[in-house]
Structure 1
């Protein structure tokens, strides 16, 4: 329940309100459960493959807390948690996708087919992703704390738009680089790519699916923030679940099935093999 002293009975028509609709407790609870189950599955694999973990479950848990408060009496902490964690999650997914491509290139000895050298590829894209992360985090924080300060609200909104545009451009460049590497590998495969335990095509397909889902989600968020707080997307909750929560859950589920974390084991075996050959 919210604090009655901070309630705004005219929240629908207010210039600023944490939500422009009554958040659905059922929907937030369902996706909290979905992401928690996915987190549990990935956590099991983390023990063996040191894979990345999930923060979406915390974002939707915060949203569920907001949904349990009276309309117009929403408090800042759960709103801030759901805004930042849901907004920032794709940036963490993107970092994992970028690093996975570098590992694929290394495990198949495909350095000569990458238009950016592997040792720079991950660094460049992860650094770009950090910039996007900071922009989205800073903008989201300003947006959540702006309230009636319109200039601060507009600035935070514009910073988020800039972060989403940069993230889309960065992801588009990454997909182009991945496609070029894939094409060159198909035309002239390396010797290691023929090994049956190195399913590099499957790993690349997993990256394509994840990238497409993240791009769809980011396009939705970009349009949403461009429309502003009174836009159709911002005032209609169903889009949050259809075009954000669902695509991101599919990314999690897809990676749980097509798990690229096993590449770490292949790399360790490759290092042992290369070290043995060097000694010989």
Structure 2
């Protein structure tokens, strides 16, 4: 005969708090969908899916809390809340490339803009898959200590990789800003690049802090202090991820596209960067297109 709680939670889940966050993430996701459609910022699709995953995760938590003998809702809330930030990160990585293009600052970046996006997005996909695998193993084997531990270890690998990638991403952004500091002074004041870079840093740090919290949580294990106290989940995961969505709504990266268009750097669904000089190839005015 199954146990009443089946050891899914080490506390009595707070249903009202889960309902509040489910509603908040659903509203935030709906607002972001409207902004994305209005500004045609399709690169934010992963970000919006991440918000929807958060809403589903907390809704699943409500259902799981009401029926703690059911494995399905528990797996849903575990997986969706675990992997949603990786989807946020995928869109955030793309913002830096657009800021570099907006400011004509690729020569100040330590990575080519096109490679920058590919490296970080592919790395993020790897984190997503690793954490999904570990979460599914852990959540579906709650009564098997060995398999649960294996799932936690896989999740930890994914989280450490995510932290390493985010750390490198922040370093790349900071070096770009430092190396281009003199160049920025020559830009037209109408090019409001700085606020987008500030939001990029803010959202990156929020996700980084959340990932560090999750690492500590899984290192402590199923009987650890963090997993035994639900308040930490709401403070260091739910609140930080909701703040990420709010930041991106207040200073929306979709505003970069009109500035690029005003500069004449967009066309046919691609960004086209004009180089006034290309000494290595001897072509003084050749346009270079980036997908």
> TM-score by structure 2 length?
0.85
Q: Give structure 1 stretches of 5+ with no counterpart.
A: none
Name the CA distance, whole Å, in 2 between partners of 1:150 and 1:66: 21
**How far did residue 199 of structure 1 move?**
1.1
What residue is the counterpart of 2:12 in the other structure? 22
What residue is the counterpart of 1:271 in the other structure? 265
What residue is the counterpart of 2:168 in the other structure? 173
Does the alignment pair 1:252 with 2:245? yes
Q: Which has the higher contact order (CA 8 A, sep 6+)?
A: 1
Aligned residues of 1:206 and 1:254 also touching (Cα < 8 A):
yes
Aligned residues of 2:101 and 2:273 also touching (Cα < 8 A):
no
Moved over 6 A (4+): 273-278
Q: 2:157 aligns with which of 152, 162, 165?
A: 162
What residue is the counterpart of 2:280 in the other structure? none
Name the CA distance, whole Å, in 1 between partners of 2:60 and 2:194: 38
**How far did residue 23 of structure 1 move?**
1.1
CA pair 275-95 structure 1, distance change in 2 beyond 3 A = closer
SS in 1 for 2:228: coil
Aligned residues of 2:54 and 2:81 also touching (Cα < 8 A):
yes
* 1:179-208 deviation digits (Å, cap 9, x = unpaired): 0111122222285x3250x21111000011
Name the CA distance, whole Å, in 2 between partners of 1:117 and 1:195: 25
Matches within 5 A, 1:39-188: 39-49=29-39, 50=41, 51-52=44-45, 53=48, 54=51, 55-69=53-67, 73-188=68-183
Over aligned residues, Cα RMSD in angstroms? 2.2
What residue is the counterpart of 2:231 in the other structure? 238
Aligned residues of 2:100 and 2:113 also touching (Cα < 8 A):
yes
SS in 1 for 2:99: helix
Name the CA distance, whole Å, in 1 between partners of 2:59 and 2:122: 29
SS in 2 for 1:245: helix
* 1:50-94 deviation digits (Å, cap 9, x = unpaired): 33312211111111111222xxx3312211111111111110111
Q: Give structure 2 stretches of 5+ with no counterpart.
A: 277-284, 286-291
CA pair 146-203 structure 1, distance change in 2 beyond 3 A = same
Question: Which protein is richer in helix relative to its size?
Answer: 1
**How far did residue 147 of structure 1 move?**
2.4
Aligned residues of 2:152 and 2:218 also touching (Cα < 8 A):
yes
SS in 2 for 1:23: coil
Aligned residues of 1:214 and 1:248 also touching (Cα < 8 A):
yes
**How far did residue 265 of structure 1 move?**
3.3
CA pair 87-188 structure 1, distance change in 2 beyond 3 A = same
